[in-house]
Amino acid sequence: MVKIPDNIAESALARLFNDSRLEPEITWFSLPGGAILCEAGEPADQLFFVRAGRLAAFRQEEGHEPRFLGVIRPGEPAGEMAMIAGSQHSARVVALRDSEILAMPRAVFFAAAERDPVVMIELARLMIRRARQTAGRASTGDPSVFGFVGVDRMVKVRDLVEKLATAIEAFGYSVTTIGEEGQHAPTEWFSNVEGVHDFVLYSAEADQIAWKQIVGRQVDRLFRIARGDKPPPSTLDYFASPALEKQFLLDLILVQPRGVDRPVGSEAWMEAVRPARLFHIRSGSGADIDRIARLLAGRSVGLVLSGGGARAYAHVGAIRELRKVGCPIDFIGGSSMGAVVGAAVAMGWDDEEIDWRLRKAFVETNPLADIALPLIAMTLGEVVGARLKEHFGEQQISDLWLPFFCISSNLTSGSFQTHRRGLLREALRASIAIPGLLPPAVQDNNVLVDGAVMKNFPTDVMRGLHLGPVVGVDVTRGRNITADEVARPSSVWRWFLSGQWRKGPPIVSLLLRTATVSTGREIVASREATDLLVLPKMETVEIRDWEAYDEAAAAGEAAMQSALATLTRPVTELRRRASLEELAEAAVAM
């Protein structure tokens, strides 16, 4: 019988798989790195136990990259929830590296669990922890072994990794960094090191070819590091396991020259590497090192801003308050007008610059003033396009300091579209193309309209980008449209003289509200994906009142203050994973 290693043999579940009486019923097999253990939708008629190696669980949505759910380590089961429920697997489970798996038939497990109830208690505790992870809470299933490999010899990878380790240790975790000295270590040595540290960071310089190959097969996620001001080589070797490549677990860090206003070289490197995520580090910047450290430790903060017409001004106040308390913003995304405000943050603008740019673009002049013969839309969209070009210029999304995305609705494919590359102003133009009010955007023969039509509060997209807390500001549920707002003016002249024409004709309210309305189920799901939900009171702000800037911003600021006041710990710790020391103390206390 294949015995369980001593370092994972203490749990009741491990003892069950080590029980010699069950040996004829237990199957042992090797699962190569990149191989699939089970697919979503397959029957769960066995309980799997990881003897060695590492697995990862992913959930796939049609048309989108797999969403990472968590790591399954040696000594942990896989497929336990579906097996106990007698249902189908809900996720794909893949071997991150060469692994050894034990499998026990469902009926055999239940019979054995009746003889030893502690097994079921232990399994129930594990399932509760994993369920909390799915619901957005801290978990021990997060990745903890990261690799950093250099592409350019001018980048000193080990120095960067040591700085990351110091920053992570400041969060209260045990961290070790391993370089080429680990190249000839046996497999058991790697497992032992990873078992006694909260985080293991492997570093490989550009010229350490053999060690880079080992690192690429040993980690939960791999970062390639290059100089942004140097062009990518004509050929690149990923130095990654098939699992990392297939499951989009390869990221890119570009080290930018000291003192540059904007990142350089991003598009060329994105085209060459095709990473899942891109991060920029300014040479010598401690703040950028801290941001990557938060990312690795599950403390990075993602901010999501909903659409909502003029009500989206509330996002400005919410951001102002978030910055005031010192909360970092590491990822940002949004839909419709929320995307415009989010792009302002990703540009690196401070509160004052965001304020005057939005006032100039949307408050001082009506962005929907170029009324047209409504063959395709009520306006030509030229004023909006000119405003976006004036403030965002030729900025590429990949050349933003912060990872940014915005959402549009693709009428050609019938699904929402996530913009993470390309010209920023074109992505924003698509995201705010309210059907009937602004002409649709056409990109690559696809017809794109306002993102709020299909996904107005894209918290699930943010959840798929990082494992840290998600802060969401939703302005969609203020005062709904009333009959007065769509009533025909009794006198056109009086309507002009009163200044109400600046908001646009009443049909604007109808089109804006139609574009941003969401189903109850979608709203609940989007809000549940947040760790901190902010709901500004927008009852007095009409959705097309582009002059209501101060009132809306004040509502956002007040709502963020109230939301932060409910917290008992900083935002960065809302999904804090327990350290190994804390887990050991909790086990003793039980």
Any idea which residues carry the catalytic annotation?
336, 450
In order, the DSSP letters of 318-337 are HHHHHHHTT----EEEEETH
Contact 437, 512 (CB under 8 A): yes
Task: Output DSSP code: residue 237.
Answer: -
Mention every residue, 6+ apart, whose C-beta is less than 8 A from residue 18: 1, 3, 4, 9
223: helix, strand or coil: strand
Of 311, 322, 306, nearest to 526 by C-alpha is: 306
344 φ, ψ (degrees, to nearest 5): -60, -40
Contact 298, 573 (CB under 8 A): no
Q: Would you call 569 exposed, middle or buried from its count of C-beta atoms within 10 A (0-12, 13-18, 19+)? A: exposed
Cα(first)–Cα(last) distance of the chain, in Å?
Answer: 32
22: helix, strand or coil: helix
How many whole angstroms separate alpha carbon 402 and alpha carbon 332? Answer: 7
In order, the DSSP letters of 416-460 are EEEE-SSBHHHHHHHHT--TTTSPPEEETTEEEEEGGGT-SS-HH
Helices H / strands E in the chain, number of each: 21, 22
Joined together, the tokens standing for residue 417 give: 């579209």
Contact 232, 151 (CB under 8 A): yes
How many whole angstroms separate alpha carbon 381 and alpha carbon 436? Answer: 11
Of 345, 281, 329, nearest to 532 by C-alpha is: 329
What is the SS3 assignment for 130-198?
Answer: HHHHHCCCCCCCCCCEEEEEECCCCCCHHHHHHHHHHHHHCCCCCEEEECHHHCCCCHHHHHHHHHHCC
69 φ, ψ (degrees, to nearest 5): -105, -35
306: helix, strand or coil: coil
Residues paired with residue 29 on neighbouring β-strands, in sequence order: 101
How many whole angstroms separate alpha carbon 35 and alpha carbon 242? Answer: 8
